[in-house]
Amino acid sequence: MFSIIACIGKNRELGNQGGLVFHIKEDMQFFKETTMGHPVIMGDRTFASLPHALPGRTNYVLTRHPEHLPEGVIPVSDIEAFIKEHSDEEVFVIGGGFVYNEFLPYADNLYLTEVDAEAEADTFFPEFDKSKYEKTIIKKGQSDDLTYSFAKYTKLN
């Protein structure tokens, strides 16, 4: 089972020049609490943006060039095979744009931190049909001049 987790702006902004567009401490904490103990899969560009592999979680990285990955990080090159092999446990899809797009059709849950702001971006979360999901607001937050909602979209059967 796949769950997507992302922080997005009003226009689904995700990233800019290899980094995040929003830096919200409460969102980082929510990400950590939600994904801890679960396997995570990310793209090679997202992995490159991290200081190190995420502790307490098996790190899978989608790449066609696995040679450079540090020991302990598991390369994935065949998305379909990975999806078939991981239908029993909850795997968190943690970005970026390419990987969200590939996994969106297979994700039962989308945890989206929806920031009520626009930002300069070169990477965007894919458009999706909200009528096919039930939306729950987990909580709302504010930090500095940003307001945001932690939303969970659950796919309807």
Ligand X SMILES: NC(=O)c1ccc[n+]([C@@H]2O[C@H](COP(=O)([O-])OP(=O)(O)OC[C@H]3O[C@@H](n4cnc5c(N)ncnc54)[C@H](OP(=O)(O)O)[C@@H]3O)[C@@H](O)[C@H]2O)c1
In the three-class reduction of DSSP (H, G, I as helix; E, B as strand; rest coil), residue 51 is classed as coil
Asked if 67 interacts with ligand X (CB under 6 A), we say: no
Asked if 99 interacts with ligand X (CB under 6 A), we say: yes
Q: Report the residue number, 51 or 156, with the smaller CB distance to ligand X.
A: 51
Q: Report the residue number, 20 or 73, with the smaller CB distance to ligand X.
A: 20
- Nearest distance in Å: CB 41, ligand X: 10
Q: Where are the alpha helices (DSSP H) in the chain?
A: 25-35, 44-49, 79-85, 97-103
Stretch that binds ligand X, among 41-49, 51-59, 83-91, 127-135 (CB under 6 A): 41-49
Asked if 53 interacts with ligand X (CB under 6 A), we say: no
d(CA 112, CA 76): 24
Using the structure block, give the residue that is written with the tokens 């029993």.
88
Q: Is 5 within 8 Å of 31 (Cβ atoms)?
A: yes
In the three-class reduction of DSSP (H, G, I as helix; E, B as strand; rest coil), residue 61 is classed as strand
Using the structure block, give the residue that is written with the tokens 């979680």.
57
- Nearest distance in Å: CB 19, ligand X: 5
List contacts with ligand X (CB under 6 A). 6-7, 14-15, 18-20, 42-46, 49, 62-65, 77, 94-99, 123
